Amino acid sequence: MQITKEEFKKELEQKLDSQFAVDVEHASLGELYSALSNVLRDGYAPNWRETRIKEAHEGKKQVYYFSIEFLPGTLLRSNLLNLGWMDTVKSALKDLGLNLDDIAAKEPDMALGNGGLGRLAAAFMDSLASTGYVGNGNGIHYKYGLFKQKFVNGYQVELPNDWLQKHNHWEVMRDNKSVLVHFGGQVNLVQKDNWMTPEYNGGYSIKAVPYDIPVVGYHTGIVNTMRLWDAEIPESEEINYPTIDDRRKVEDLTSILYPDDSSYSGRLLRLKQEYFFVSAGLQSILRYYTKDLKQNDMHNLPKYVAVHINDTHPAMAVAELMRLLVDEYHIDWDEAWKITVQVISYTNHTIMAEAMEKWDINMMTQLLPRIMQIITEIDRRYVISLTGKVAESVINDTRIVNNGNVQMAHLAIIGSHSVNGVAPLHTHLLETEVLKEFYELYPERFNNKTNGITLRRWLQIANPKLSKLLDQTVGRDWRTDSAKMLLLQDSYKNAKVLKQINEIKLENKEKLAKFIKKTTGITVDPTAIFDVQIKRLHAYKRQTLKLLHIIKLYHDLKNGIDHPKRVVIFGAKAAPSYTYAKDVIKVINEVANVINNDASIHGKLKVIFLENYDVTLAEKIIPAADISEQISTTTKEASGTSNMKLMANGALTVATMDGANVDIAKAVGQDNIFIFGLNKDQVYDYYNKHDYKPRDMYNSDQVMKETVDALIDGSFSKAANEGRVLYDSFLQENEEFLVLADFESYLQAQKKIEENWHDQRSWTQKALVNIAHSEEFNADNTVARYAKDIWGLKKLN
Ligand code: KOT
């Protein structure tokens, strides 16, 4: 539905009047946000309804993307953009003396995820709707999103993120679609009507209530649904929860998002959360299949339904679908197994050993007795199927139940028809190292699907000026057909275009500089190099290597060795229990304090650690970046996606050949990226030979020694203890992240960056090439590959 400026103004006035009894002139920004989002809801509501009718009518196969995290950020501007209302609304608001950005700033960031994995899930939701597929999200309606990060005396402090307090204007609670999820008790199998039927004794049920969030497609008229489940006490059992405390225990189930990234948190509550949203999602799928689609043959389920599990957190879907098919729909085990494997597919997002989920058998038996029985049976049959065919060690290494644990990745792989990694190198490492034995058993299941990003958000929303320039140079079609962005390369020598790219970057940097001034009080020069590292704080991502570079630059400047002006900008949250990562934050903050306040270096170097990195903050930083830091230990970063967002905005990448950096390097060519560091074979050599001796390197390299020593010699005395922790970690024999091994090579890459910076024309040309080639990482294309190769989807008519 399109809208004219006048219609929009009228609608906005009406909403302000009916909701708050105010006129435009007297409305607060919060009231304007609320009214504006309501106008928008009216705009897409017919599409949302029609999409559901069309889906049921056409009966096309649908994918259900099961993810314990979704990180959509804010939705006002993306809904405006996707509905095709952006320009009209901006201009109407301007007429009214209002600014869309000010109003949009009132929307809480929906931070129901930790980082890359959650953001990817949200990107896929957008892309499915924007390319014409029916795709549904299935996740948890957390009361508190990822913690709000503050720095107090340089330390990270975590505050609750009560995002729902101000009400989520987009969601619709659908009580009539609620289902019950059972926990605890005991199960006995009894013969009933010729069927071994489970009889439950004891335990309790929790009501799963869905909150549906619309996912508006870009100019497609499609509005898909992201369904997030909340926990409530079933009406029939209210008597069993007489006190407020009792009630709180139930509500706690969906209260908090686990703030751990790449590490496994062995908490009972987490296991409950996983089963809760998996069971609710599958029950709701089967109800739709039987009631709405009126299908009665479960054997046809794979023709209508694909369930994708985003890493292993939803891997219990394998057992739960078996339970539903066997216990509830009386399908023979072997048949049910075939259906399950055809329906389910799995993405692995990390090779970090500590992220490999496993659950204690006793815990699982107590909480989910029937699921544990089913997993045991899947495992038993798996072992039988391989006995005598492969070495016993292979069976032991790959079976699901082992050493008192349930291995979730094994369950996911054995129960899926597709297992994918998220960049070619990562998939290769899965096949040859981490999941080698599985790859030998099921080579046909393994495939690569390189990650992608929502270019619409990172260009059209975050960088409207660059988007306009693209319109002028390659035509507006790039907005729907991103391959057209490649045409920007025709302007490689066009002085006018190069000048405009420069001007836009400078304006974006000025804007960020203002934000930095406002939030930190620190003045930064927008003409300096804006050097950006934004991602979760983790040892393998090596914010520490950037820190060493900063210290080296500082020493040079103090010693009269000149460098181009630079502002290093960090954004990163550390998991609350990850003390090393928190130590890194403290050290960076104290190093920043010393450098930012040292008049003797004349402001040539500034270090800014912005608080509370989230999607909203990313939208401010990314358009202003000159340098994108992608410096993980090679082999450790599965893909990375900030690397893609930054290149799309014309930042040049300094990178190890890790994750999707490899593909970015291939896309832009060696001349347009700064590659450094050990390659994957060298890294594995160190790991296999156990002969990494950082102390020898340190003792034989004066510059390295001086740089690392600064952490303990009193230069940054307010972080003396934490500095010592980092110092010791770098020098430890066989230190896993090989920080010092890449130090020299990283300095060389940074030197090259400085040399290039002096030639602004050639710098901007490199930026142009990066912008053009970011089209390769459009999540729309990624999703098209999943749809074709894994899910077997057809577009809606
Ligand atoms: C967290 C816990 C367990 C298993 C995996 C994770 C995980 C992995 N969380 N985020 N990731 C990141 O996923 C992104 C999307 O695929 C990748 O780009 C990134 O390299 C992963 O670290």
pLDDT bin (cut points 50, 70, 90) of residue 506 is very high
Residue 555 has pLDDT above 80, yes or no: yes
The Å distance, Cα 292 to ligand 1 centre, comes to: 35
**CATH number of the domain enclosing 487:** 3.40.50.2000
Q: Which positions ≥6 away from 544 have C-beta within 8 Å?
A: 584, 726, 729, 730, 737, 739
Q: What are the DSSP E strand ranges found in 471-572?
A: 529-534, 566-571
The ipTM value here is 0.96
Residue 659 in contact with ligand 1 by CB distance below 6 A: yes
492 with 361, same domain? no
Which pLDDT does position 131 carry in this prediction?
Answer: 97
E strand or H helix that includes residue 609: strand 605-610
Distance of CA 34 to the CA centre of its chain: 27
Q: Determine the structural domain holding residue 373 and report its residue range.
A: 59-74+109-451+782-791
Would you say how long the chain is, in residues?
Answer: 797
Query: Considering only CA atoms, which of 393, 378, 495 is closest in space to residue 760?
Result: 495
Which pLDDT does position 192 carry in this prediction?
Answer: 86
Residue 274 in contact with ligand 1 by CB distance below 6 A: no
Average pLDDT for residues 84-110, to the nearest whole number? 97
Residue 73 in contact with ligand 1 by CB distance below 6 A: no
Whether residue 506 is contained in a domain is answered as yes
Kindly report the average pLDDT of the chain as a whole number: 97
- DSSP-H helix ranges across 732-793: 743-758, 760-773, 779-785
280 with 342, same domain? yes
Whether residue 244 is contained in a domain is answered as yes
Q: What are phi and psi of 681, to 5 degrees?
A: -70, -40
Residue 264 has pLDDT above 80, yes or no: no
- DSSP-H helix ranges across 535-673: 543-558, 579-596, 615-621, 642-648, 661-668
Q: What is the C-alpha to C-alpha distance for residues 455 and 218, in angstroms, rounded to an integer?
A: 11
Mutate to test the pocket of ligand 1, among 70, 119, 350 (most ligand atoms within 8 A of CB): 350
One-letter amino acid of 512: L
The catalytic position among 340, 450, 641, 764 is 641
Distance of CA 276 to the CA centre of its chain: 21
26 with 69, same domain? no
Q: Which whole-number Å values give the CA distances from 695 to 217, 290, 705, in the listed order? A: 55, 65, 9
Q: Is 480 a known active-site residue? A: no
Residue 566 has pLDDT above 80, yes or no: yes
Residue 350 in contact with ligand 1 by CB distance below 6 A: yes
- For the chain, the domain total comes to 3
Q: Is 330 a known active-site residue? A: no
Residue 640 in contact with ligand 1 by CB distance below 6 A: yes
B/e letters for 722-740, b = 16+ CB within 10 Å, e = fewer, are: bbebbbebbbeeebebbbb
67 with 98, same domain? no
Average pLDDT for residues 566-589, to the nearest whole number? 98
B/e letters for 82-97, b = 16+ CB within 10 Å, e = fewer, are: bbbbbebbbebbeeee
Whether residue 566 is contained in a domain is answered as yes
Q: Are strands 344-347 and 305-310 parallel, antiparallel or unpaired?
A: parallel
Residue 340 has pLDDT above 80, yes or no: yes
Residue 267 has pLDDT above 90, yes or no: no
Q: What letter would DSSP give residue 494?
A: -
Whether residue 229 is contained in a domain is answered as yes
The Å distance, Cα 349 to ligand 1 centre, comes to: 4
224 with 268, same domain? yes
Query: Considering only CA atoms, which of 272, 378, 271, 374 is closest in space to residue 323?
Result: 374
Q: Is 645 a known active-site residue? A: yes
323 with 375, same domain? yes
22 with 63, same domain? no
Tokens representing 698? 């340190």
The Å distance, Cα 117 to ligand 1 centre, comes to: 5
402 with 518, same domain? no
Residue 266 has pLDDT above 80, yes or no: no
B/e letters for 414-453, b = 16+ CB within 10 Å, e = fewer, are: bbbbbbbbbbbbbbbbbbeebbebbbebbeebbbbbbbbb
The Å distance, Cα 449 to ligand 1 centre, comes to: 14
Q: Is 636 a known active-site residue? A: no
Residue 120 in contact with ligand 1 by CB distance below 6 A: yes
Q: Tens digit of pLDDT for each residue in 221-233?
A: 999 999 999 999 9
Q: Which whole-number Å values give the CA distances from 317 to 298, 347, 431, 446, 516, in the listed order? A: 16, 14, 24, 19, 45
- Cβ-contact 629, 533 below 8 angstroms: yes
Whether residue 176 is contained in a domain is answered as yes
The residue assigned the tokens 């002096």 is: 758
Residue 639 in contact with ligand 1 by CB distance below 6 A: yes
Residue 1 has pLDDT above 90, yes or no: no
Which pLDDT does position 260 carry in this prediction?
Answer: 80
Average pLDDT for residues 486-496, to the nearest whole number? 98
Nearest CA owner, ligand 1 atom 9: 117
The Å distance, Cα 116 to ligand 1 centre, comes to: 5
Cα Rg of the chain, angstroms: 27
The Å distance, Cα 421 to ligand 1 centre, comes to: 11
Q: Which positions ≥6 away from 691 have C-beta within 8 Å?
A: 734
Residue 349 in contact with ligand 1 by CB distance below 6 A: yes
pLDDT bin (cut points 50, 70, 90) of residue 439 is very high
Residue 641 in contact with ligand 1 by CB distance below 6 A: yes
The Å distance, Cα 736 to ligand 1 centre, comes to: 19
Q: Is 349 a known active-site residue? A: yes
526 with 438, same domain? no
Q: Tens digit of pLDDT for each residue in 758-778?
A: 999 999 999 999 999 999 999
Tally of helices (H runs) and strands (E runs) in the chain: 32, 25
Q: Is 582 a known active-site residue? A: no
Which pLDDT does position 360 carry in this prediction?
Answer: 95
Whether residue 535 is contained in a domain is answered as yes
Q: What is the C-alpha to C-alpha distance for residues 314 and 50, in angstroms, rounded to an integer?
A: 30
Query: Considering only CA atoms, which of 184, 173, 178, 183 is closest in space to residue 207?
Result: 178
Question: 446: number of CA atoms within 13 Å, CB side?
Answer: 20
Q: What is the C-alpha to C-alpha distance for residues 684 and 198, in angstroms, rounded to an integer?
A: 49
Which pLDDT does position 789 carry in this prediction?
Answer: 98
Phi-psi region of 597 (alpha: psi -120 to 50; beta: other; left: phi over 0): alpha
- Cβ-contact 591, 547 below 8 angstroms: yes
523 with 488, same domain? yes
Average pLDDT for residues 651-678, to the nearest whole number? 98
Whether residue 362 is contained in a domain is answered as yes
Residue 661 has pLDDT above 90, yes or no: yes
- Helix (H/G/I), strand (E/B), else coil: 338: helix
- Give the strand order in the sheet containing 405-407: 358-360, 405-407, 401-402
By CB atoms closer than 10 A (0-12, 13-18, 19+), residue 749 is buried
Whether residue 797 is contained in a domain is answered as no
The catalytic position among 119, 207, 479, 535 is 535
The residue ranking higher by pLDDT, 166 or 137, is 137
Question: 477: number of CA atoms within 13 Å, CB side?
Answer: 9
181 with 162, same domain? yes
432 with 538, same domain? no
Tokens representing 62? 């649908």
